[in-house]
Structures are given as C-alpha cells and as structure tokens.
Amino acid sequence: MEDKKPILTAKDFATDQDVRWCPGCGDYSILKQVQSIMPEIGLPPEDIAFISGIGCSSRFPYYMNTYGMHSIHGRATAIASGLKAARPELSVWIITGDGDSLSIGGNHLIHLLRRNLDVNILLFNNEIYGLTKGQYSPTSELGKKTKSSPLGVIDHPFNPLALAMGADATFVARIMDRDPKHMRDILKKGNDHKGSSFVEIYQNCNVFNDGAFAIFTDKGTKPEETIYLEHGQPLIFGAESQKGIKLNGLTPEIVELDKVSKEDLWIHDAKDRTKSSILTRMFDDPKSIGHFPRPFGIVYEEDRFRYEEAMTSQIESAKALKGKGDLDALIQGSKTWSI
C-alpha cells in the first residue's frame, strides 16, 4: 500500500523560537501569511529553504521550520543563486529589506533578476534602516530627517518595482503587510511563477518610521489612494468605485465613471512590459502628471527560460563532448598573432 503524505498545516512550518521583533512590527503579519501558504505549496519542510541577509526582516529563517540561512549583508541573493543552481528541485525563498537588497546588495539583486532563477524574493520595504536604529535607506523619501540625515535626505530614492522592471524581472508585484488576504494570494501566485518572482511588501516600522504607508492602509484614505490590479480588468478605484484610469496615448489620466464608459478605461495587461513600466512610475512625479493611486498586485509577468535549466543543459552538452575539447585552443581564442 502506498504511504500517504501527511497533511501539513501552518503550525508545521513554525519553529519554537521566540519571535524577536518589536511589538506591532509589520513583520509579524508577513511571517503569519507566509507560514499559512506553505502547506499549499505541496512540499515537505525539508524541500524548502529561506535565505536572508542582514536586517530586521532577515531574522525570518529562525521562525520557519524549514532549511534556511541567515547570511551576510546584501548577499542572500548570491547564496540563494548558488543553492538553486546546485539543488534546483528546492523551493528557495529570499527574505530581504530595502537597505539589504537595494544598497550593499543591489548588484546581486539585479543580476539574479536578469538570470531568472526560479526563486521567490520578498523585499520588506519600510523606507528606513530599522535594525541599526533609524538611518535613511535607499527608499527613504527626499527631505526625510533621520539620524543619518538630520537636515533631510538629499538622495533620490529608489523605486523598487521600476528597478526590477529595468533588470528584466519576469514577475513583479507589490503588496502590504496590513492586507493579509491579498498578500496570501500574491505570494501563492509568485510561488507558482516559474522564474524569479519579485514581491515588494510595504512593511510598517512602528518604531523608526511609523505610518510611512498609512495613507494606503487607513480606511478613510485607502479607497482613493490604492488601486488593485487584476489582469484583464479595467483600472477602477475610489470609495464607491467611481473613478478610473484611462490612457491618452501613453499618458495616464484619472476620469469619473459617470462621464466615461468602463470600456474606455485602461485594461490591465500584466504581459505588456511598456504599460507595466508606466504603472511602476505613475506616482513618481505628481507635480507633472497629477496625483495617482498606488498600484498593488501583479504589475508584470512573463515566461522566460530559467538560469538553472540553461545551466544544466549546458553541462549535459559539455559532457557529450567526452574529452573532445581543446583547452589550449579555448584559452588562445581565434585572435592570436605570431611575431
């Protein structure tokens, strides 16, 4: 008789470690939702690995009853790349923060995205360095006063989703720590995607940057300030779903639905790189194009070959040579001269 696989629950993916985050930190919500979707992946804990760098979010592997590594600053992407290349059958998750992945680890991140290894990247963005007590990060807004910018930040901030698009990521999405149902949905879709899934998570640091995303989470402002993306559906928002966005050429415009038909609105196409890029930049410059709601959900998705598959194929091709290669000829190349 065939042995039945045990039915796993979220508790099977939780460890006995005390969770050491500040009370009220958004990381608690993210941890709970990640643990809750693990049984749906259909893999036992020993076939899953969580790799993190340095930062508050990087404590994550301690709290997941899977394999994992709390690595070094900015290098989680490099370590995860090696792991996935060596063990492509594993489900690999990268846990990182805006400082960890966009500052010291920025170069590793963009190369992982362009290579398109089949891993899941969760970028906790709280727009601050929380673990080291409140210095400004690569995503902190201009003018923000922090311990390391007492007169205000003068660095232009990174836009994580625009950066991911520029690095040719194949799955780009944004979610919020205070929207658990939507978070679970996007996390599952990111895991189902074959290739690198990049998910930015707006995560509140209630000690050093409290309320950074309140306009998107408070009930009074959320309907007017957020727009939820769904492939094949028009862009509609507002307290009574009374507003929409249409494109005038490639320029977005906000319209009232009592004046414009839904059929004339911008229909979200997550396969359209050009329009998806507009979505990532739509709110960057409100003075020039107006104030737009912030998009949440899957911004872009495409199917492209995975690095580990191409690497395995190349290794097999090399094995087929069976000693026919000429190392000297390879080193010399074809551009040599005798003098």
pLDDT tens by residue, 308-324: 999 999 989 888 887 77
Task: Dump pLDDT digits (tens) for 155-170.
Answer: 999 999 999 999 999 9
Domain membership flag for residue 158:
yes
Tell me, yes or no, whether 132 and 219 share the same domain: yes
Low-confidence ranges of the chain (pLDDT < 50): none
For position 146, what pLDDT does the model report?
A: 95
Range of the domain at 246: 234-267
Residues 242 and 214 in one domain: no
For residue 335, is it within any domain? no
Give me the pLDDT at residue 287, please: 61
What domain count does the chain have? 2
Residue 320 maps to a domain? no
Kindly state the tokens that stand for 273: 């790189």
Q: 247 and 131 in one domain? A: no
Query: Residue 324: what pLDDT?
Result: 76
Task: Identify the domain boundary among 252, 267, 282.
Answer: 267
- Residue 289 confidence (pLDDT): 63
**pTM attached to this predicted model:** 0.94
